[in-house]
Structure formats: C-alpha cells, structure tokens
Structure 1
C-alpha cells in the first residue's frame, strides 16, 4: 500500500472503531502498585486508607492475578490504577517471577510493607532478594506500619532502623514512609506523607488521592467524576499510541465521555448541547484540535519515528485533550444545570489549565506503556 493510500485510509476510515478494545487495552496497561509483605503487615489496610474505600468495597474488588497474588483495580467500573497484593510469602519456596511478570511493562512501583514491631522478616527478605536480582523493578518504597503500637518514640525509631537496615542490605538505599493506618486515635498517621512519596513514582497517585478541605460546589461535583474522566483519558491515550486507530477512536471516546458527564448533571445529551459547548470553546479551538489530531496520525505513519516519538506524543496529547475536555465539560454542564451562563474566557482558561495540570500523568503513562 502506498504512503498516500495509507493517509487516505487514516482520514477516511471504513468503519467505526471498536471502543471496547480501546478500553480493554487501557485496563491491561494500568499504572500498578505492587504491595509485598507478610500476612498482617497491613497491605489491604494501606489500600483502604489511600483510596478511602471501605473494607467491604476493597474486599469484594480483589480478584486472582497469579497463583500467589491478587489484583485490585481502582475503581472497579472505571479503573485507572491497579494494586497487586502478594499473599504467598509464607509458602515454602515462594518464587516471585510470576508476580514480576504480572507487573512488567506497566508504570509501577514496589511497595514493601513491614510492621515496625515485627523483626522476623526472613520470608520477605528472601523474596526481595529475588526481585532485586531480576532488575525489573525500578522504583520501590519501604512502608513501616503500626508505628503507633510501639511504646515510645525511641522504641519506634529503633524498630524502624532495624527493618530499614535489613532491607537496604539487599536493595540498597531506599526511601521509607513510617505510618499507622489506623492510629491510636482512630485516625491514620503519616498518610499524607505516604501518598506524596507514592506520587513521586506514579504522578496519578497524587491526582487521585489528594486531600482538599475547601472546594466550591462545582469543584466537589468534578471530584466525584474525576476518576471517570481519567478513565476515558487513559483509553484515549492508549488507543492513540496505535497507528491509524486514534484518529477515529479518540473523538468517539471523547464524545462518549461528554455524553456520560452531561447525563450525570441531569442534562439530555444531543447535538444541540454538543454544539453549544463547542461554540463556547470557540471555532479556533475546534480547528486547532482537528488539525493537531490529524497531524499526529500522519506522523505515526512514518516508519520507526512514528511508532516511537510520534506515538508517544500522540498518546500524551490525546490523554491531556480528553481530560481537559472533561474538566471544561463539567463546568459548562454544572452552570447549565444551575441556569447560569458560562463565559468563553472561563471555559478556555479551564481547558488550558486542566491540559497543563494533567501533563505529568499523561507523560508517565505514555513513557511506560509504549
């Protein structure tokens, strides 16, 4: 097939894309946090504390991943992040290679969970030695749990140092986060520091689990829908990394997202509503958007370059554009549901801010999934 025939087919697809394949591809390449530690170390409690979900919600969400590990997708219906919980450490001859393969290829970090008051960690240390030798895991964080159960700060520091030294003999220097996910007062201790350190490895963690005390009614509504918007953005970015597909599937995914958002604000989705949103964003936005998307698809057809740099750029842009459209759509739909106008300046500013804000997450996913 000639170069120009490929261009023609790209710009004039013969059929509508299979969006289910795009969403499935995204789920298979989610950013992953691999939790490893002895039974009772607090791995499931850590997931509950970070996500804010209940025991029942987390418990029901786990599903087998390997023979020795289970997988929890956050959230179940619109997953954007995966936790893998290793439960086979007590088994004789535990071999982590299957679990390593389950994480390989995804943007991920290893979260080593150790109770501060438990010095017997031989099973975990044996597993860490094998994981380290594999060379597959780039990022790791050591989480010392149950620190509030120790009688004094001096004892706490001594226990943390003991386990820290044992791990560093195998792993080398490693950052740590001392926490108590229940706490004597019933409130987690060190949770914000833990989230911040996880976010150093996976920017999406900060985006999903940042704590905000003060927010407007519109912002509160957006926060409820943010995970869904990021789910659509992830699918758009993932499918746009594949040559030819993105030109058709990305706009379809974005339209599906806006349809869902409008319905959740109690608005009927139709061409008129889409036209009103587009009109408020402005004609210049539409022309710029269409030109950028089309150019990216043509770049992806260039041998070698198009499948690396071009594909990565397309994935990042589609993720950011989809997220920014979702954020702008939320403001527009909120105001419309309240009977209030939305100025073009406000909408464009919201779009630009959201595009730039989500860029680190989009880049991280593109770099680790291509």
Structure 2
C-alpha cells in the first residue's frame, strides 16, 4: 500500500477515535466571552448583534453551565468560541467562584454589561469585587447598552459617567464602549467599536465578526467557510496539546477538513484530488510539514519543559498550520472547480500569509 493510500484511509472519522477526542477537547476549552450583567441589561441582544442570529436561535442555544450561568457555543454545529451569560446576580447569595472555575481553563474576556439608564448596579458591582479579589481576571470591558433610549445627550453622558465611576470604584480603571441594539435604520449603534474592543481582548472575535471589504469572489467564498476552518484548527490545536497524540490526530483532523472543503466546492474527494493538492503545494512543503510535526511531538516528550512550553507551542503551531492549510485548500479548490491554474509559489505565499495572520488567535488559545 502506498503512503498516499495509507494517509487516505485515515479519513474515516468513525474508525479513528482520536478525531472525536480532538473535537471534544477543543469544545471543552473554547475561548469564552463572559457576560456579567443584570437580567434585561442587553446580554442576549449583544450576542444577537455580534452573531447575526435571531432571538429564537440565540435563546435556544444557551445551555446550563453552572447553577447561575448558561453557555452558548458558537456556531452550534462547529463551535469555535462561547458566550457565558451570568444570570444568577439577582440572588442574594450569588458566588462567582463556580463561574471563575468554569472560565479558568479558557482564554476569556470579562464583559460588564450595564444599561445606561439603570443606576442600581449593586449586584453587578458585588460580583465584580469578588472576581477582582480572585486575581484570575485582570481586565474587563464595560459595555453601556440602550444609550439611544436617553434622548437628551447631556443626560446620556451623565448616566454613562455615573456607571463608569461605579465600576472604577469597585474594579479599577476600565475601558468602555457605548452601544444600542435597538433599530437605528436597521443597524445596531456602536457595533463596530464594540467588535474592535472585543477583538483586542479575544482575537478570535475579530476573525469571526469584523466585516472586511473582500477583493473578489474567491475571498467571499472563503469568508463563508472560515468558521468551519477555524473549527478544525481548534481541534488540531487541542489534539497537539497532548503528548504523543498530535502525531496521529493532527493529520487526521486536517485530512477531514480537506475532505469537507472539497465537498463544499463540489469536488469529489479521492486519492487523485489529494495527490493534486499535495503536488500543487510542492515537494518542499511536504518535507517541511512532516519535519515540523515530528519535531513538535519530540519537544512535548521532554520532561517538565515539554509539558508546558512544548505542548503550548505545539498547540499554537498546529492551530496555525491547520488554518493556513484550509485557506490554501479553499483557493486551490476554487481555482480547480473553475478550471483555472495556480502555481506552487502562489499557493505557498497564501499559506504563509494565512499562518501569520491567524497567529495571534493561535497563541491566544495556547492553553488548550
């Protein structure tokens, strides 16, 4: 049996339990946006504004996570991040420790959601004090919601300043953004500024929700598939964080991704297509890939160092490599479906640019 045949046979996920474990580990460690605020402050509206989903989709997507919180993995079928909504603040005995422990495993950002015209924030402020004392979360973003519901601009600014002062007294210096998710010519107010602020704290949000001008049809096609590519990248990174697992699991996840992407472009995924894509990337790419994967596995086996620096570096590298491979595959499959040629130099340049582009996200998730 040829090497290509052996590689191709690993595509069946049912026959490869490492694939399922990789996705399970990835979903258990999703980067999480922790929303802290009173009921009615606009937390669900914030999720809807970011994701573009409707009220029913978002409402049905939240699942109990702790006694006082619910979690929404996004997207539902191929989750790459999560929203944690704290809904137990109205209870006098709310204790943030369980929510802190839940977020401790993940790369996360704390978002304090306050309705601008609501001065009674004692429950939120008490939770903030406890979270600050834990020392596990050092930075928060304050989101003022419903700002356009206050018609008088002077009064609006006074309400915003009041809530910011309350947060500063109980948390310290905090960055803030003002939004309104009601209809403003059909568009939420302040959404772009909010997305930029969130992306500074959780880089994957920039990849998912920032709207960029796209140069051509191929780029727009990739944007529609990006969430799926990131999903596979997260699974590869999660698998490669475990010693002696990545050598098998990472290529399996990547091959499954190629299988799925080929189908998205209407191509039959078989040995011939795999061979064509490998040839298009160039022989040097294959040698570099194999050597880098093997080196990462060796580093993870080094006592102490391998379990910290080695595993974290391997996870970030596999995340980035998988994303870049998916980006290159999308371009190749698009050109192939249209009968257009592509050079190895062009494909490799795109791969390199994609890897460098996604690196901040990959590093942010290094604790997978």
Q: TM-score, normalised by structure 2?
A: 0.94
Matches for 1:230-245 after TM superposition, within 5 Å: 230-245=230-245
Q: CA–CA distance in 1 between the matches of 2:363 and 2:251?
A: 20
Q: CA–CA distance in 1 between the matches of 2:30 and 2:309?
A: 21
Q: Which residue of 1 aligns with 2:346?
A: 346
Alpha-carbon offset, residue 312 of structure 1? 1.6
Q: Which residue of 1 aligns with 2:278?
A: 278
**CA deviation map 1:254-306 (0-9, x unaligned):** 00000000011111001110110010110000001001111111111111111
User: Against the structure 1 CA distance between its residues 321 and 166, is the aligned structure 2 distance closer, same or farther, given a 3 Å change threshold?
Assistant: same
Q: CA–CA distance in 2 between the matches of 1:269 and 1:184?
A: 46
Q: Which residue of 1 aligns with 2:159?
A: 159
Q: Which residue of 1 aligns with 2:205?
A: 205
CA contact (8 A) 2:132 2:138 kept: no
Q: Which residue of 2 aligns with 1:143?
A: 143
Q: Which residue of 2 aligns with 1:310?
A: 310
Q: Are residue 287 (structure 1) and residue 287 (structure 2) matched?
A: yes
Q: CA–CA distance in 1 between the matches of 2:76 and 2:146?
A: 28
Q: Which residue of 1 aligns with 2:266?
A: 266
Q: Which residue of 2 aligns with 1:73?
A: 73
CA contact (8 A) 1:113 1:142 kept: yes
Q: Which residue of 1 aligns with 2:328?
A: 328
CA contact (8 A) 2:139 2:174 kept: no
Q: CA–CA distance in 2 between the matches of 1:236 and 1:165?
A: 44
Q: Say which SS state the counterpart of residue 93 (structure 1) adopts.
A: coil
Q: Which residue of 1 aligns with 2:8?
A: none
Q: CA–CA distance in 2 between the matches of 1:359 and 1:214?
A: 21
Matches for 1:1-370 after TM superposition, within 5 Å: 18-366=18-366, 368-369=367-368
Gaps of 5+ in 1: 1-14
Q: CA–CA distance in 2 between the matches of 1:95 and 1:174?
A: 22
Q: Say which SS state the counterpart of residue 365 (structure 2) adopts.
A: helix
Q: CA–CA distance in 2 between the matches of 1:218 and 1:108?
A: 32
CA contact (8 A) 1:25 1:239 kept: yes
Q: Say which SS state the counterpart of residue 34 (structure 2) adopts.
A: strand
**CA deviation map 1:225-262 (0-9, x unaligned):** 10110011011111101111001110010000000000
Q: CA–CA distance in 2 between the matches of 1:116 and 1:184?
A: 17
CA contact (8 A) 1:109 1:138 kept: no
CA contact (8 A) 1:69 1:99 kept: yes
Q: CA–CA distance in 2 between the matches of 1:225 and 1:212?
A: 15
Q: Say which SS state the counterpart of residue 125 (structure 1) adopts.
A: helix
CA contact (8 A) 1:148 1:184 kept: no
Aligned residues: CA RMSD: 1.3
Alpha-carbon offset, residue 16 of structure 1? 5.1
Q: TM-score, normalised by structure 1?
A: 0.93
Q: CA–CA distance in 2 between the matches of 1:132 and 1:313?
A: 29
Alpha-carbon offset, residue 17 of structure 1? 5.1
Q: CA–CA distance in 1 between the matches of 2:185 and 2:133?
A: 41
User: Against the structure 1 CA distance between its residues 41 and 169, is the aligned structure 2 distance closer, same or farther, given a 3 Å change threshold?
Assistant: same
User: Against the structure 1 CA distance between its residues 183 and 165, is the aligned structure 2 distance closer, same or farther, given a 3 Å change threshold?
Assistant: farther
CA contact (8 A) 1:296 1:314 kept: yes
Q: CA–CA distance in 2 between the matches of 1:178 and 1:32?
A: 21
Gaps of 5+ in 2: 1-14
Q: CA–CA distance in 1 between the matches of 2:138 and 2:256?
A: 36
CA contact (8 A) 1:42 1:113 kept: yes
